[in-house]
Amino acid sequence: MSDPTPYHHFVRELERLLHAARAEPLAAPALAASPPLPRQPPRPDAPVLLVFSPHPDDEVITGGIGLRLLREAGWRVVNVAVTLGSDRARRAERDAEGAACCDYIGFERVLAAPSGLEGVNLDGRQRDVRRWAAGVQRIADILVQHAPRAVCFPHAGDWNQTHMGTHQLLVDALAALGPGLRVLTLETEFWGAMSAPNLMLELGADDVASLVAALACHVGEVRRNPYHLSLPAWMIDNVRRGSELVLGQGAAAPAFTFATLYRLRRWENGAFAPLLARGCALSVHDDVDALIR
């Protein structure tokens, strides 16, 4: 039976491809051992992007800007695993999966604590002041050690309690380092959409495929919920949202297929400061390094 319209064929093909992709292997040894794209080792003096991941997998879900900075401009991208998840029985496994993911995508990796930090949520900040202060100090130490040009972390309203806690943990650590600290900040979204992103970053199909493959290294998580396969659809929808939220209501959508949204600001004098005069859509042909200075 023929499809009544071309759009029926379009949707059926999407469904077919999605179901076919479910049969693909998760973190096969050959996949985890080979780089997604050719790359050179970063220079010792390369600028650093610190990616503060609330959970193992967040480093690549919102890691498009890190991948582009690494691949196009030779940055060092260092994933800071803030927690290893709430399931204690799975933490060793999630640690190993996170290491495999970062090895595959080319990110360096450090643990905020051997088993991840505990109580990284707003309630924990209020109830266990001593533990929270120790976490703030650990994040501050990592910031000092790596002296990043930019830091990447969830925005304050990213719904998931650990995502929101990671935002506040990093803000407290930035503040603890005093008014002399100056660093670019890139806030991300996944569970809760930002109301005012100002950067829409296009990703090419190869980069998106590399991020999906890296996300598949988190075997235990994507086995229960194959959200690695929905990552391209989320990035497609980011183009729809970003065209209005970043470029302005009623703006024409750029000819992007995939994008990730960020809020780019600068931390200086102990607070966030605006950086962009207007929203920016950065294509795969634009110099991302020139913007993140």
Specify if 254 maps to a domain: yes
Say what the pLDDT of residue 32 is. 53
Specify if 244 maps to a domain: yes
**Token digits for 245?**
């939220």
Nearest partner of 185 among 168, 201, 195, 171, judged by Cα: 171
Say what the pLDDT of residue 33 is. 55
| Average confidence (pLDDT) over 173-191 | 98
Q: Provide the domain count of the chain.
A: 1
HSE (side-chain half, CA atoms, 13 Å) at 44: 0
For 97-135, the pLDDT digits (tens) are: 999 999 999 999 999 999 999 999 999 999 999 999 999
| Average confidence (pLDDT) over 68-94 | 96
Domain holding 47, by residue range, is 43-291
Specify if 8 maps to a domain: no
User: For the domain that residue 133 is a member of, what is the CATH number?
Assistant: 3.40.50.10320
Say whether pLDDT at 29 is over 60: no
Say whether pLDDT at 213 is over 80: yes
Phi, psi of 120 (to 5 degrees): -85, 75
Say whether pLDDT at 37 is over 60: no
187: helix, strand or coil: strand
In this prediction, residue 1 has a pLDDT band, given cuts at 50, 70 and 90, of low
pTM reported for the whole predicted model: 0.95
In this prediction, residue 2 has a pLDDT band, given cuts at 50, 70 and 90, of confident
Say what the pLDDT of residue 42 is. 77
Residues contacting residue 229 through CB under 8 Å, at least 6 positions apart = 18, 21, 22, 212
Specify if 26 maps to a domain: no
Specify if 10 maps to a domain: no
- How large a percentage of the chain has pLDDT more than 70? 95
Q: Can you tell me the distance from the alpha carbon of 189 to that of 98, in angstroms, rounded to the nearest whole number?
A: 20
| Average confidence (pLDDT) over 17-23 | 93
Q: Can you tell me the distance from the alpha carbon of 142 to that of 140, in angstroms, rounded to the nearest whole number?
A: 5
CB atoms within 10 A of CB 247: 18
In this prediction, residue 237 has a pLDDT band, given cuts at 50, 70 and 90, of very high
Specify if 148 maps to a domain: yes
| Average confidence (pLDDT) over 184-193 | 98
Residues contacting residue 111 through CB under 8 Å, at least 6 positions apart = 80, 81, 84, 95
Specify if 7 maps to a domain: no
Exposed/middle/buried for residue 192 (C-beta within 10 Å: 0-12, 13-18, 19+): middle
Specify if 173 maps to a domain: yes
